A and B are shown apart, each in its own frame.
Chain A
Amino acid sequence: MAKKTKRMKDVSKPSAKQKILIVDDEKDIRDSVKLLVEGMGYETGTAHNGKAALEALKQGKYDLVLLDVLMPEMSGRETLEEIRADPKLKRQKVAFMTVVHLSECGKGIMDRLRPVEYFQKPIDVADFRRRLKRLLG
């Protein structure tokens, strides 16, 4: 019986612990998303701006980056441009998580940077979980 319970638990959590980097200049948002994501069984790292995110990516491997757009020092767009220009990081999976409602010209700019997903803040938790699972398998 104990074995059966364990197997069922394993199905809902990621098999090997995958790691997500949460990048947002607002601590409350970093903390809330961290709680949510860790509750789904993922490991997390956090960064308070684009520069700190680039440092974190150079020092460790992340399966996904959740990236805010409007941040001081280096915006999410600039950060993803740097990631795509770096031969070691250019294949990094990055999803935006932002309050910005992209315009048509904004969509054109973002599409060229190849984010894997675009989460609109405020996030719908059920939808966020479903799409995150689909992204990371």
Chain B
Amino acid sequence: MGEEVLRLAKTSDILSSLDKNPNTVVICNSRKHERMVIDLHKAVAKKFRKICMITIHEPFPILIKTLQEEKIDSSRYCFIDCISAEHSVVKDSKQCMYVSSPAALTELAIAIEKTRKKHNMDLIIFDSISALLVFNAETAVLRFLNFMVSRVRKTDTKAIYSILQETRKEFLADLTLFADAVIEI
């Protein structure tokens, strides 16, 4: 990936990157990931009007509890929960839409479009692409992300894609082909 990646950046670098690069990939190692996501929420909740959080590995109730504990304004958020329907009966609410499985990429794309129309969000956060890779083939995830990147460019939206550093480097290199910026924290 070479010089295409901005290494050892800070959370504030993600925000400045988004000004120029609507699709920013954030690479973070698994030990720092949880803290990085909380810091990111603290930063984006002050800057963006409506944030769509796509959660792939953490159920919506746990996520909203974490935001509240960290005193982050959760009213700015809407959620797409891809994991809860795998192991419990769920029903869409005002703030959260459920997708049947992280493997249901078309359903996820439709849920994002519906949420975009309903909430008119200005930021989408995918957490995490690595979790999507547990349920889908790499090529399927890359095709889905290529579609998402194009949609984000066509609409007045920004997107952050979090991904673990431990992900196969060839996948990261292919993702770098169409992501607007890649930042390593």
Contact = CB atoms under 8 A, between A and B. Distances in A.
Interface of A: 25, 69-72, 75, 77-78, 99-106, 108-110
Given A101-B146, A105-B182, A108-B4, A72 B137 contact: yes
B139 A69 contact: no
A40 B138 CA distance: 35
B139 A103 contact: no
Interface stretch (B32-40, B111-119, B123-131, B171-179): B171-179
Contacts of B139: 25, 70-72, 75
A interface SS class: loop
Nearest to A96: B177
A70 B180 CA distance: 17
A69 B174 contact: yes
Contact of B177 (A25, A71, A72, A110): A110
A102 B177 contact: yes
B179 A105 contact: yes
Given A69-B174, A103-B23, 19 more contacts: A71-B139, A75-B139, A77-B173, A77-B174, A78-B174, A99-B146, A101-B149, A101-B178, A103-B21, A103-B149, A103-B176, A103-B178, A103-B181, A104-B180, A105-B181, A106-B176, A106-B178, A109-B2, A109-B4
Interface string B1-38: 11110000000000000000101000000000000000
6 contacts: A72-B138, A99-B143, A102-B177, A106-B177, A108-B4, A109-B1
A24 to B, nearest CB: 12
B36 to A, nearest CB: 21
Contacts of A102: 177-178
B45 interface: no
Nearest to A70: B142
Contacts, number: 64
B179 to A, nearest CB: 6
Contact of A70 (B3, B174, B179): B174
Contacts of B143: 70, 99
A105 B2 CA distance: 10
Interface string B136-176: 01110011001001100100000000000000001001101
A52 to B, nearest CB: 15
Contact of B173 (A25, A101, A109): A109
Contacts of B138: 72
Contacts of B142: 70, 75
Given A102-B178, A106-B176, A109-B177, A78 B170 contact: yes
Nearest to B181: A105
